[in-house]
A and B are shown apart, each in its own frame.
Chain A
Amino acid sequence: DTGVSQNPRHKITKRGQNVTFRCDPISEHNRLYWYRQTLGQGPEFLTYFQNEAQLEKSRLLSDRFSAERPKGSFSTLEIQRTEQGDSAMYLCASSFAGTGTYQPQHFGDGTRLSIL
């Protein structure tokens, strides 16, 4: 169990640029989640996948945000035309879900995005 891996750890970019983050879940986990955390707040849910299917998206996920999990393994989160308000820590988590059973989510260390 190597844990949830996120890359890059830090991203600094200018307003208006596009950014993409990657998350590699724990290998046997079929669910993958994205959250956003700002300073002094708890993580806020963005979206999640079961295998390659995107099952839920938050209203927070504007049309500038898109997430994919094309082969049911790693996932990418892209933000287009970044804005100052996108500055945050982006967290990825994974878990295993079976029929009627839901295991706890395990989190990566996050990608910190800073918009100049």
Chain B
Amino acid sequence: GNSVTQMEGPVTLSEEAFLTINCTYTATGYPSLFWYVQYPGEGLQLLLKATKADDKGSNKGFEATYRKETTSFHLEKGSVQVSDSAVYFCALMGNQGGKLIFGQGTELSVKP
């Protein structure tokens, strides 16, 4: 069945450091891929998405490229801020829509 694997956290970075959170997936067909973020005490928010191979999703300085050849959707940001501290979830949705399948989440802590 479909599945998502994320790098384990927590990830601790200094402000202005470069961020990469790895995400790989297993799926049949052509899934859509998402990154959701959960700030402390808040609900899940959609960060970015990509619906087909080679699409790049971007938002708030974060980017991720849908790589079908490596079945990956790694999240990157060039310069993190303290306010980016949160838990990040990679997720996929099958090509018929429906449920999201999430990775286990990666906690990011950014220190001043």
Residues of A within 8 A of B (CB): 31, 33, 35, 40-45, 48, 55-56, 58, 91, 93, 97, 102, 104-110
Partner of A102, one of B43, B93, B103: B93
Contact of B99 with A45 in the complex, beta carbons under 8 Å: yes
Contact of B43 with A108 in the complex, beta carbons under 8 Å: yes
> In the complex, A41 Cα to B17 Cα: how many Å?
26
What chain B residues lie within 8 Å of A105 (beta carbons)?
Answer: 46, 100
Contact of A40 with B97 in the complex, beta carbons under 8 Å: no
Selected A-B contacts with CB under 8 Å, 7 pairs: A40-B104, A40-B105, A41-B105, A42-B4, A48-B99, A104-B46, A107-B45
> In the complex, A108 Cα to B38 Cα: how many Å?
12
> In the complex, A16 Cα to B100 Cα: how many Å?
30
Judged by a CB distance under 8 angstroms, whether B34 is at the interface is yes
- Known interface pairs A43-B100, A48-B98, A97-B97; A104-B49 also in contact (CB < 8 Å): yes
Place the interface of chain B in its size category: 20 to 34
Residues of B within 8 A of A (CB): 4, 32, 34, 36, 42-46, 49, 89, 91, 93, 97-105
Contact of B104 with A102 in the complex, beta carbons under 8 Å: no
> In the complex, A109 Cα to B38 Cα: how many Å?
10
> In the complex, A83 Cα to B28 Cα: how many Å?
35
Contact of A107 with B44 in the complex, beta carbons under 8 Å: yes
> In the complex, A102 Cα to B107 Cα: how many Å?
28
- Known interface pairs A55-B98, A97-B97, A102-B97; A41-B45 also in contact (CB < 8 Å): no
What chain A residues lie within 8 Å of B44 (beta carbons)?
Answer: 43, 91, 93, 107
Contact of A107 with B43 in the complex, beta carbons under 8 Å: yes
- Known interface pairs A104-B49, A107-B44; A41-B104 also in contact (CB < 8 Å): yes
What chain B residues lie within 8 Å of A43 (beta carbons)?
Answer: 44, 89, 100, 102
What chain B residues lie within 8 Å of A31 (beta carbons)?
Answer: 97
Partner of A110, one of B43, B91, B102, B104: B43
What chain B residues lie within 8 Å of A42 (beta carbons)?
Answer: 4, 89, 91, 102-105
Give the one of B34, B42, B46, B98 with max A CB within 10 A: B98
What chain A residues lie within 8 Å of B101 (beta carbons)?
Answer: 45
